Amino acid sequence: MRKPVRKFRPDVDIADDSDSCLDGTDLDAYLDDADSDHSMVTRARRRRDSGETAPQRRGRLTQDERTRLSLLREDDLRQAGRPTVGDRWSTWERAEHGPTPCPDWVVTDLVAEDTELGVLKTGKEAEVHLLSREVPGTDRSVLLAAKRYRSNDHRQFHRDAQYLEGRRMRRSRENRAIAGRTAFGRNLIAEQWAVAEFAALGRLWSAGLPVPYPVQRDGTEILLEFFGTSEGEAAPRLVDTRLAGDELASVWHHLLAALVALAAEGFTHGDLSAYNVLLHRGEPVLIDLPQLIDLAANPQGISMLRRDVRNITDWFTGRGLPPETADPDAVTSMLLTEAGLSSS
C-alpha cells in the first residue's frame, strides 16, 4: 500500500531532506543518546567526521531539535566554504589594486587561495612574509611578498613624526586618536604608511623604475612582487652581498640610472641605503619606499637627497669603487639638475 502524503506537516519529514547530515537513522535515539557532557552538535560532528550514519526521524521536530539541526547544517556550510589548500581566500576582490595594465603573472581569480610560507623579515615597523597565491588544481600560482605594517605598542616608527607632520587628517576624531596613539590611532598610522608605500610603488613602477610591482593593498597589508628564487629564497640586500670589481661597478651604474630616473620624476628615496636595495639577477631593485620624498614640495627635500646620495656612495666606495666614480657632490648636483632644481 502507498504511504499517505502528510500535506499538513510539510516540514517534519527530515528523511526527505536529502542535504541533511541526519539522513538515514533515528533522530529520537540520537537525541536521547546525548549526555550532559557532550553537546548534540559535537556528537553529530563526531559522527559525521567518522563516517558513521547519522540518525533519522519521522515526526514533528521540537524547536530545540530544529536549532540543533540548523547548527549542524551551518557547520557543513562553513566546512564547504573553507579554502582547500590555502590559509585564506585571496583578498584580491576587496583590496585596492596596483597600476594597470596589471602584469599577467598577477593571480586575480576570485577562487584563488593564499598560503603563508613564513616570515622573510621582522622589522621594527613592518613584517614581511612570503605568501603563495594559487588557484587549486591549476598551474596558476605566484609568490608574493606581504608587507604588514605593525600597529602594536612595540612598534617604533622613526619616520612617523616627520612624515605625519603636515599630513593631518580632515577628521578631528582621527587626529586625536593619532595624537593620543590609541589602538585605533596606531592602526590609522600603520594604514597610512601602507597607503603611502602602495601609492609610491605604483607611481614609480608606472614610470619604469626598478621597484616591486604593488599587487594590492588591504588595510595595513601590501602585497608586492616577490624578488627571489622560485623556491622562495628572497633576493639578497646589497648589504648582504660580496660585490667587488666589475660586478660592483655594474651594479653602481644600474643604481645611478635608477636614481636619475627617480630624480626625473621629482623624487628621492628618503631612506636609501644598502639595506633598502635588493640585488636581483645582477641588477638593483629599490624597496621600502613609504617615505618617498617629493624634492620640490618637501622643505627638506634637497637635504634628504644629499643624505641618500651620501649613504649609498659611501657604501660603494667602501667596497672599492673609485671615489671619483661615485662622488657624492657630483652625483647630487646631477640629480638636482635632472629634477629641474638647483642646489643653491
Select from 83, 99, 123, 219 the one that contacts ligand ATP (CB under 6 A): 123
Which has the closest alpha carbon to 270: 329, 312, 324, 234? Answer: 312
Complex with ligand ATP: residue 272 or 305, whichever CB lies closer: 272
Closest CB 217 distance from Mg ion, rounded Å: 18
Of 270, 14, 76, 229, the residue nearest 143 (C-alpha): 229
Among 60, 88, 121, 168, binds ligand ATP (CB under 6 A): 121
Q: How many residues bind ligand ATP (CB under 6 A)?
A: 22
Note whether 128 binds ligand ATP by CB under 6 A: yes
x/- string (CB under 6 A) for ligand ATP, residues 241-280? ----------------------------------xx----
Contact predicate 202/171, CB 8 Å: no
Cβ-contact 210, 284 below 8 angstroms: yes
Question: Which backbone phi and psi does 145 adopt, to 5 degrees?
Answer: -95, 125
Chain-centre distance for alpha carbon 284? 23
Give yes or no for a contact between 185 and 178, defined as CB atoms under 8 angstroms apart.
Answer: yes
Question: Does 308 engage in binding with Mg ion (CB under 5 A)?
Answer: no
Edge to edge, the sheet with strand 126-134 lists 88-89, 113-122, 126-134, 141-149, 221-225, 214-218, 96-97
For residue 227, the partner it binds in Mg ion, ligand ATP, none, with Cβ less than 5 to 8 A by kind, is: ligand ATP
Is residue 212 within the footprint of ligand ATP (CB under 6 A)? yes
Rounded CA gap, 24 and 193, in Å? 57
Pick 114 or 288: Cβ nearer Mg ion: 288
How far, in Å, CA of 311 to CA of 77, rounded? 56
Sign of CA dihedral 230, 231, 233, 234: positive
Which of 228, 261, 311, 333 is close enough to bind ligand ATP by CB under 6 A? 228
Residue given cell 629599490 in the structure block: 286
Part in contact with ligand ATP (CB under 6 A); list of ranges 55-63, 234-242, 252-260, 310-318:
234-242
Interface mask toward Mg ion for 252-291; x: CB under 5 A: ------------------------x-----------x---
Element (H, E) at 195: helix 183-206
For ligand ATP, the closer CB: 45 or 280: 280
Q: Which is nearer to ligand ATP, 128 or 259 (CB)?
A: 128
Q: How many CA atoms lie within 13 A of 309 on its CB side?
A: 27
CB of 121 to ligand ATP, least distance (A): 4
Percent helix, strand, coil in the chain (nearest 5)? 40, 15, 45
232 binds ligand ATP (CB under 6 A): no
When CB distances are held under 5 to 8 angstroms depending on the partner's kind, the choice from Mg ion, ligand ATP, none that residue 237 binds is: ligand ATP
Cβ closer to ligand ATP: 150 or 319?
150
Q: How far is the CB of 276 from ligand ATP (least distance, A)?
A: 5
Looking at the Cβ atoms of 134 and 197, the one nearer to ligand ATP is: 197
DSSP state, residue 318: H
Task: Compute the CA torsion angle 15, 20, 24, 25 (nearest 10 deg).
Answer: -100
Query: Residue 99, interface with ligand ATP (CB under 6 A)?
Result: no
Q: Are 167 and 175 in contact (CB under 8 A)?
A: no
Q: Grid coordinates representing 328? A: 657624492
Binding mask 280-309 for ligand ATP (x = CB under 6 A): -------xx---------------------
Give the residues lining the site for Mg ion (CB under 5 A).
Answer: 276, 288
Query: Which residues contact ligand ATP (rule: CB under 6 A)?
Result: 120-121, 123-126, 128, 145, 147, 212, 224-228, 234-235, 237, 275-276, 287-288
